[in-house]
Structures are given as C-alpha cells and as structure tokens.
Structure 1
Amino acid sequence: MHAKRKLAALVGAALAPVIAVSLPSGAASAHGYISQPPSRQAQCAAGVVNCGDIKYEPQSVEGPKGLTSCSAGISRFSDLDDNNKGWIVTNVGSTATFSWKYTARHATSNWQYFVGGTKIAEFGGNNQQPGDTTTHQVNFGGLRGHQKVLAVWNIADTANAFYSCVDVNIG
C-alpha cells in the first residue's frame, strides 16, 4: 500500500508542470504605451524620472475600460498619477503625433485621447491587431498651455484597456 501512494505522488509531481503549462492562462500582462512624445511610462523606463516598478514594465498599465487614471488603478504604478513628480513636458503645436509602442499586439476596438476628462480624439481599430507601432495625429483645438493627455488603447476582445499619460505644453 505504501508503494502505491509513493508511486501516485511521483506521478502527480511529474504531471503537475505539464498540466500547469497546458491550462489556459489568465489575463495577459499589458503590452503597450506611448513612446513619443515621451509618456510618463517612457520617462520612467528611460530613468528620466524615478518611478518604481513601472521602470521595468512600461507596457503593463492595463485595467478595465473606462478608467481615468494614468496608473489604470494599479497601486504599484501609482507614481504615474502624481502630477508633481517632475515629468518632462513636451512642447507641441495645436496638433501632435502620438506613437504607440507595442510589446504584444491585441485586436483593437479604438484609441481615445482625453484632456481634463474631455475626449479630444478617437481612432478606430476595426478589431484588427496593430503593427509594431501606431501613430495618431491629435488636434488640440483651442487648448493651450500645460495639459496632461490620457491616451487609452481599448482592446476589442477583452474588457480591458491600456493607459498612457503624456504631459504636453500646447502653443
């Protein structure tokens, strides 16, 4: 009887890694952020601003759709929400080109851009996967001065989105 238990334990231990690898994974880690103009994540990754964990995974700001924070509500990325952190502000005109960098691509519902809670631009994704990068020309209309742009990449086949904030000086 003891030998059967030992054999069962050995078989179970041998199969556990195979079973773990074959099970469907949970939510994938996030996979994109704005690289130009330098987003808060890009500044953290480059070491321009000291930001904690986000330095190592700037593409990982993923949360449920509809959030309005730079950190997507992820407490370990809360530095992204601190407007007094010393972010580099990029001078732009009445329009600016935003470039998304992806480490993994997802079917896309759309990209949205907000300033002060107001949507200023939206670009359709046609439920397609983007290439390695995506650029959008965003018109700021009558906005002037220092503004924080919240950019959102809404994924088509999940309830999640990726969030990226960029500090700009318009005009």
Structure 2
Amino acid sequence: MNLRRKALAVAAATPLLFALLPAGTASAHGYVSSPASRQAQCAAGTVECGQIKWEPQSVEGPKGLMSCSGGNGRFAELDDDSKDWQVHPVGTSVDFTWTLTAQHATSTWEYFADGQKVASFDDGGARPPSSVTHRVDLSGHGGPTKLLARWNIADTANAFYACIDLDVGAA
C-alpha cells in the first residue's frame, strides 16, 4: 500500500512540475520562399549549408540588424557572400513571397537593397496568413543586388531575416 501512495503522490505532482518549468521558445516562423532566399536555397540543397538546411524559417534576431543571419551564430553561413548563392534575374519590380509557419502579430515588413531601405509595409499588429507577398520597386538599383527582407514582430523585440541575391534589370 505504501508503494501505491507514492505512485499517486508522483502522479498528482507531475502537472505542477511541468507548470513550473520555464517555457521554451517557438521554433518555427517564416522566410522568403520566392525568389528563393539564401535559407530557402539551403533547405532545397541548392547550396551546402549547416543547420539552416533543416529550419529555414528560424532566422530570428533582435530588430534593427542588417545581417542575413539576424545575428544568429548558428546560421552565420547566410552572411557569407562568397558562397555560390543562386542569383535571380529580375526586373525593376519584384514580388517577394514569405512562407510563414507561425503567424506572429506584425508591425512592419522592411526591404533593403544593398543596405538602403527601398520599401516598408505596415501591418499595424495584424496576424498575417500563411503566405504574404509584397511588390517592391527596385528601379533605383541595377545589376547584382543583395536584398535583405526583415519581418518585424509587433509583440516581441525580435524580427525574422532573409537575404535574396538578385540581378536587377536582367529579366
């Protein structure tokens, strides 16, 4: 009978134990899937990469950064411009499509061509659908261009990052 009481006590305490454990962070969010971002190319096996191959949606870091990795050391290979990234020939107006695996409340979506802000879309805290497309005017740019796309989350200090290698005016 003593063994039975111990088992019941453990069973009763288990839910409390899990309630007291710290919560984990979410592991899925979003990335630019078209034209294929660097992390989309890693996931597709177009370019050899490390851990990002398994979680292209997880390039998250503090808002305001200008790095392809979002300052996340696990994904530092995304910052390596010498890798054989596929360059997309595009016109001067480009549709960028995000694939979202978690629909976070969104403040803004920002796009930077070679470090210069070229577009911003304000969502005012709305939760986006599982796919979002923005048309961005790149007429002030031409030739090889690295575009940084940044999804700023409304209710956290973080953003999601994606870089896309383009040849503007080649399409």
* TM-score (normalizing by structure 1): 0.89
Secondary structure in 2 matching 1:126: coil
AA in 1 matched with 2:121: F
The 1:102/1:18 distance shift into structure 2, 3 A limit, reads: farther
Rounded Cα–Cα distance in structure 2 between residues aligned with 1:11 and 1:67: 50
Matches within 5 A, 1:55-74: 55-74=53-72
Contact 1:155–1:161 (CA under 8 A) maintained in structure 2: yes
Query: TM-score when scaled to structure 2?
Result: 0.89
* 1:112–1:24 Cα change, 3 Å: same
Counterpart residue number, 1:112: 110
1:26 shift after superposition: 4.2
> Quick one: distance in 1 between partners of 2:15 and 2:78?
37
Moved more, 13-22 or 77-86: 13-22
Give the drift of 1:142.
1.9
Deviating more after overlay: 21-30 vs 115-124: 21-30
* Aligned ranges 1:17-166 → 2 under 5 Å: 19-20=17-18, 25-166=23-164
Unaligned runs of 5+ in 2: none
Contact 1:153 1:163 survives alignment (8 Å): yes
Offset of 1:25 from its aligned partner? 2.2
Kindly, what percent of the aligned residue pairs are identical? Answer: 56
Cα distance, 1:11 vs. partner?
Answer: 3.9
Shift of 1:125: 1.1
Q: Label 1:21 to 1:89 Cα distance change in 2 as closer, same or farther (>3 A).
A: farther
Instruction: For 1:157, give the aligned amino acid.
Output: D
